[in-house]
Structure 1
Amino acid sequence: MRILHVLSAEFFAGSVAYAVQLAEAHRAQGHQVWMLSESDQLPTGATQVVAPISNRRYAQRLRNARFIRQLVRQENIDVVHAHARAASWVSYFALRGIKIPLVSTVHGRQHLHASTSLFDIYGDKVIAICGNLREHLVTEVKMAASKIVEIPNGVNFGAAPKLNEELRMRNEELSSGNSSFLILNSSLTQPLRVAFIGRFNGGKGERAAALLQQVFPELLREFPQLRVALIGGELEQLPAAGKTALEQLQGEFGERVEVVGFTKDVPGWLARTALVIGAGRVAIEALGAGRSVLALGEASYEGLVTDDTFAAAAASNFGDISAQVASPAVDWAAILEDAQAFLQAPQPVTAELQQRVRVHYDLATVATRVLEVYREARMRKAAPDFIPVLMYHKIPDAPLETKHKIYVTKENFEKHLAYFQKQKLTPITFADYLKFANGELPLAQFPARPIILTFDDGYTDNYTNLLPLMQQYGYRGVMYLLGDFEVRHNQWDLAADPTEPRSEIMDLAQKRAFVAAGWEIGAHTMSHLRLTTLPPSEAAQEIQRSKAELEATLQTQIVSFAYPYGDSNDTVKKAVREAGFTLGVSTDTGGMHLEDDRMQVFRINMFPNESASSLFKKTSTWYRKYYRWKRKK
């Protein structure tokens, strides 16, 4: 995929760090990435382009929008990802009228402007980095909840530090003595250190100034071996009161007050720090490194992060974001008390919490989830309405005596094909759909009226009747087959009702003919069992083995799965996803749009006596809404 990130930060803020790490993760996965920002010195191998995106004068904004539009066309960009409001604004106007989706990551609370209500400037999908931010966007910004997805900032943690368990054990040994705090660092000979890590401008700067005035003096006096480190950029922008307090501390405590400023060795400082005070990315990286954190951000103070408080702290991005408008006032006495309590009786980060943080914020996982958002945004742009997915089974020469009515005669099926052709409906496969979603094909080529024709079980009449007719009309479909090639008739129907007619299933050569004709093959379990009635482990085996057997025997990629009887639940859907399927197709249930839930795609039953009016209804983009209204499903 060809991805353009648009940034409007004038300094290396957390949003920039997020975008850079995301770009590097996607580049490592083989995607091409461009970064449009104020600088061409970002630490990334992506192609860097410079533009004054943060300049909010309307004339410059319009020039920026024209520049982005030109860049998108010149580089055949598949998706634009904006970070911050100014970037979303210019990207929104740049992409108007063209089939390129805009995804915005919102990193903080948004100011309400007239343009917010007049124009949905955030684009097709919005990523909120924490729960509080999602709530803010829905309740205060009045953004549609359906377009928001919560994905945290991704962090590349690297290997987990090996020293944490040793330090934890030593702490337990010495916790009853006054010297217990001395061993919280990477070496027993290193001094105890508390570090504030973050920016020194804006709200973060005000927090740093207050710490210098109301917390650090008392800590330095109470703990003679304590050092306090100030780590971050823009130290010269520290508020005046903070600079005065810093000078006083340096005069009183000398080298015990360490003014580090900007450094590329944050991991090294984390390893030498017992207690980190910070929010957002700082807190995430510290916890992932096994460092204890007092979560203090621009919005709130969340206290010491523990296994019990992690969820609430993460929802606020560790104090940076409130869900509702609230006073940013902080009880500094409480922070001092918490810091004193920690230094007197340290509570090292548990292995469970460290692993929890590393899993939740894992960069590779986040990057994969963001790619899913890109793909969804592309397909909602390509096909904003419901795509009819029709479900057929048998295509016999003559009507069958069966109560199930899951057949359409050869004669009637040809009428269906003639109708599709007359209505300029274009049959595609799910594999075709995914090529557009993944950026392998441009959205401009996506058919105006797509339709997906699916066929379950692989009956012999599919080879004798269906395949020739589809080839005659130049159509391809999706054939859902069983993974057990020894199943040669509808034994599941006969087991339930011996009076049902026996219907033969294709042999291997006949199935291979569909692959040769360019059809998509999907999996339908090994032997047509009802998955929701099986133990989860058995259901997972049916799903996994069917994919493996079909791919190995037919030498084709399997991307979609059809639930037998259309029956699924959350456990079964999870097993389908974990087996490596991209789509799961159901019957009579599913979202209003294919992208609402790729693991439960709504399919439409086709019956023996479909008329022109029923074909019109079932192939209309409004049919899914009609069905939900009529059937309440």
Structure 2
Amino acid sequence: MNILMALSQLEVTGAEVYATTVGDELSRRGHSVCYVSDTLTKPHLGEYFKLRFNKRSIPRRFWHVGYLIYLIKKHRIQLVHAHSRASSWSCHVACKLTGTPMITTVHGRQPVHASRKKFHALGDRALAVCEAVKNQLISSLGVSPELIAIGRNGIDTSQYRPVAAPINDKPVISIIGRLTGPKGELCYRLLDECLDLDAYRVQIASGSDIPDRFERFRDKVDFLGYVQDVSGLIANSDLVIGAGRVAMEAILMQRPVFAVGEAQAPGLVTTDDLDAAMASNFGDIGPRDLDIDFTALPARIADALKADFDASGLATRVKASYDLNAVADELEQHYQSVYVHRLRREVPIIMYHRFIEDDSEKGVHGTYMHVNMLEKHFKLLKRLGHETLTFADLAEQGMASRLESGKKYIIITVDDGYKDNYELLFPLLKKYGFKAVIYMVTGEQFNRWDVENPDNPEKRVDLMSPAQIREMADSGLVEFGGHTLSHPHLNTLDKDAQRHEIAENKAQLEQLLGQKLASFAYPFGSHNQDSKALAKELDYPFAVATDSGPLAMHEDPYQIRRIAIFPRTDVFGLWRKIRGNYVFRKSK
């Protein structure tokens, strides 16, 4: 996807670190990520465009909106991700005018006033960095809970390894953060009221210029300026004071952290109070700013320097909550949901069964398609510029790859594995360069499940031979998926019987093909929670149903909705079904 990260900042901020960290991970996953901001200090992979969001006069805001519209159109931006109040306001207007999906990550407590309550400017979804932010958006600004999700800061946890305690002649306390705004006020009061500058060696890492009022501490405090090697600084510290990412990074290195931020002072972070610390982003967000008893901090800091706690267990829990890969996975989920539901378009997954050359081959059930009409379908797909995907492609490239800018993807699926798939479908796949997914029944030689149906018996149709299956798979045009041994209604079987049907079918196909299967289809579309759990347990990345499941396929990879193609689905009918909005119109 083409993603625009929007920030408003004049110096290094936690939002910038967050945006560039997750942005680089998204770039490595194949997304095209670019940035627009007043400044951008951290190294980053994507292109950067300068826009002075902090100039907030009415004419300037019109200029911001106009420039954003230009960027969205020129770079074919599919989604805008804002990270600040100033940028989100302008992005919200630009996205409304261009119809572009938008997400806002809310990094801190928001100002409360009438216009903010009326005009949230958060876009299609808000990601709160912690529970305190989410609660404030709901209680103070009236934002609908359905609009908000928790979106933790992503940290490349591999960069932060445990270190042994340093051997210092006296305790080294490191404060990491800005010297301006609320954090600057906090730092000043810590130096002035809480820290014994003779008993401790205090060092401050900050990208800010040193304000004049801090000059009085120069003789006793090491002002390090902007530090590139934050890990080295943390490693040499007996105690790290900070909030947000600073606290998380120090915990990952198993150094003691005294959490204190713009709102609260949770204090020494241990496994017992980690959840509470995370809820306030380690002190940065609370019901009001700077709600801290500074008179109690000297004793609490002294106790923290002497405390014994489970540093390893604490690091493990922080890694699980903030690991960059997990955070990027969640972010991709949000991007896909916002994009698909905002535009009401999804990659169509069409479903065929068998193909015929002559009317005498028609069946009782409407699961056949004349090969001449099939070729007309393929000609239409080719004329409209559609490219075919398989579920193996999605397993390799990620589900979000289906939304690649400038592409018109479709997934062609065919159920049961009839011999005519080899005789009639396969030549057309080769002719048009299309790929398809065939769901293969392996415990039968013909369609016994339909032939022996006492209420509505079907004519016998043979299934493909192993040699035919191998030839199609070897061509690279056909992905084979599981479809059980005998094509039962899985929801009528107990879990053990379902396991036998699904697992044995999978094992037989994987042995025949010499490769793992990427997807499974529930026969008749019939399934229950046991069926879905088994598909996941048996290591299928995806499972498809028929006309059930979420409208956006990524929202439940084990109940992916498909669009049935019937004998009377002509070219116009196919066009209606593959436009991308068919399942949305049908679900009304």
- In 1, the alpha carbon distance for the partners of 2:346 and 2:20 equals 35
SS in 2 for 1:11: coil
* Structure 2 Cα separation of the partners of residues 34 and 615 of structure 1: 37
Q: Distance in 2 between matches of 1:130 and 1:45?
A: 27
Report the CA distance between 1:13 and its aligned residue. Answer: 0.6
Larger mean Cα displacement after TM superposition, 6-15 or 559-568: 559-568
Contact 2:350 2:565 in 1 (8 A): yes
CA contact (8 A) 1:291 1:349 kept: no
Task: Please state if 1:442 is matched with 2:405.
Answer: yes
- Aligned match of 2:308 in 347, 355, 358? 347
Secondary structure of 1:70's counterpart equals: helix
Give the aligned partner of residue 3 of structure 2. 3
**1:353: Cα distance to partner?**
1.8
Which residue of structure 1 aligns with residue 269 of structure 2? 305
Q: Structure 2: which amino acid aligns with 1:373?
A: H
1:279 CA displacement: 0.8
**2:465 aligned with 1:507:** yes
- Residue aligning to 1:295: 259
1:127 aligns with 2:106: no
Provide the residue aligned with 2:331 in structure 1.
370
Write out aligned runs for 1:424-573 (5 A). 431=390, 437-438=400-401, 441-442=404-405, 446=408, 454-462=413-421, 479-482=437-440, 488-489=445-446, 504-508=462-466, 511=469, 521=479, 523-524=481-482, 527=485, 533-534=495-496, 560-564=519-523, 566-567=526-527, 569=529, 572=532
Task: Quote the Cα distance in structure 2 between the aligned partners of 1:215 and 1:331.
Answer: 10
CA positional deviation for 1:276: 1.8
DSSP 3-state at the match of 2:158 = coil
Please say if 1:215 is aligned against 2:194.
Answer: yes
**Separation in structure 2 between the aligned mates of residue 546 and residue 268 of structure 1, nearest angstrom:** 54
Mapped to 2, the partners of 1:400 and 1:106 lie a distance apart of 58
Q: Secondary structure at the match of 1:88?
A: helix
Which residue is 1:600 aligned to? Answer: 559
Q: Give the partner amino acid of 2:161.
A: P
**In 1, Cα distance between the equivalents of 2:477 and 2:138?**
43
1:592 deviation in Å? 4.3
SS of the equivalent of 2:201 reads: strand
Q: Residue 73 of structure 1 aligns to which amino acid in structure 2?
A: K
The equivalent residue for 1:192 is: 171
Report the counterpart of residue 280 of structure 2 in structure 1: 316
2:87 corresponds in structure 1 to 87
Deviations 1:389-438 (A, max 9, x none): 6655466866768xxx6x535579979x99xx9xx999986659979953
The answer to whether the Cα contact below 8 Å between 1:456 and 1:481 also exists between their aligned partners in 2 is yes
- Measured after TM superposition, the shift of residue 8 of structure 1 is 0.9
Out of 201, 221, 239, which is 1:227 matched to? 201
1:331 aligns with 2:293: yes
Residue 169 of structure 1: aligned partner: none
Contact 1:551 1:558 in 2 (8 A): no
Change (3 A) 1:122 1:598: farther
8 Å CA contact 2:173, 2:238 repeated in 1: yes
Report the CA distance between 1:316 and its aligned residue.
2.0
1:266 equivalent in alignment to 2:240 = no
Shift in Å, 1:504 = 3.1
1:167 counterpart residue number: none
Aligned to 1:173: none
Q: Which amino acid counterpart does residue 73 of structure 2 have in structure 1? A: R
Distance 1:112 1:535 in 2: 58
Q: CA deviation at 1:107?
A: 1.5
8 Å contact from structure 2 (residues 35, 46) kept in 1: yes
Shift of the 368–551 alpha-carbon distance from structure 1 to 2, 3 Å rule, reads farther
Q: 1:470 to 1:267 in 2, by over 3 A?
A: closer
Contact 2:336 2:554 (8 Å CA) reproduced: no
CA contact (8 A) 2:179 2:209 kept: yes
Looking at structure 2, the residues matched to 551 and 92 of structure 1 have their Cα atoms a distance apart, in angstroms, of 50
8 Å contact kept, 1:2–1:439: no
Determine the C-alpha separation between the residues in 2 that align with 1:117 and 1:547. 58
Q: CA deviation at 1:468?
A: 9.0
Structure 2 residue runs without a partner (length 5+): none
CA distance in 2, matches of 1:525, 1:225: 72
The answer to whether structure 1 residue 156 and structure 2 residue 156 are counterparts is yes
Query: Which range is displaced more, 430-439 or 62-71?
Result: 430-439
Matches within 5 A, 1:170-209: 185-187=165-167, 189-209=168-188
Matching residue of 2:545: 586
Is this contact kept in 2: 1:577–1:599, CA < 8 A?
Answer: no
Amino acid across the alignment from 2:495: T
The superposition leaves residues 336-374 of structure 1 with CA deviations (integer Å, 9 ceiling, x where unpaired) of: 443233334x22443122122223222233334434433
CA distance in 1, matches of 2:310, 2:519: 42
Return the match for 1:283 from 241, 247, 251.
247
Matches for 1:23-102 after TM superposition, within 5 Å: 23-39=23-39, 41-98=41-98, 100-102=100-102
Cα distance in 1, alignment partners of residues 58 and 513 from structure 2: 55
**CA shift in 2, pair 1:30/1:622, >3 Å:** closer
**In structure 2, the residue corresponding to 1:236 is in which secondary structure?**
coil
Matches within 5 A, 1:411-430: none
What is the percent sequence identity of the aligned residues? 28
* Aligned residue identity for 1:44: H
Cα 1:376–1:230, aligned 2, differ >3 Å: closer, same or farther? same
Are the aligned partners of 2:239 and 2:257 in contact in 1 as well (CA < 8 Å)? yes
Q: Give, in whole Å, the separation in 1 of the partners of 2:47 and 2:454.
A: 64
Offset of 1:87 from its aligned partner? 1.7
* More divergent stretch after superposition (39-48 vs 513-522): 513-522
How big is each residue's C-alpha offset from its partner over 1:545-597, in whole Å with a ceiling of 9 and x where there is no partner? 689668757xxx9765434554354994696499573x532345422444543
Contact persistence 1:273–1:291 (CA under 8 A): yes
Q: 2: CA distance between counterparts of 1:25 and 1:606?
A: 39
- Whether contact under 8 Å (1:591, 1:601) holds in the other structure is yes
- SS of the counterpart of 1:133? helix
TM-score when scaled to structure 1?
Answer: 0.71
Residue in structure 2 matched with residue 172 of structure 1 by the alignment: none
Q: Given the superposition, is the C-alpha separation of residues 385 and 27 from structure 1 closer, same or farther in structure 2, using an over 3 Å criterion?
A: closer
Count, aligned residues: 571
How far did 1:49 drift?
A: 2.4
Q: RMSD of the alignment, in Å?
A: 5.1
What's the secondary structure of 1:158's corresponding residue?
helix
Is there any run of 5+ residues in structure 1 with no aligned partner, and where?
165-184
Letter in 2 for 1:102: M
SS in 2 for 1:481: strand
The residue matched to 2:278 in structure 1 has which SS?
helix
Residues 254-279 of structure 1: CA deviation (Å, up to 9, x unaligned): 64x44434322321221111222211
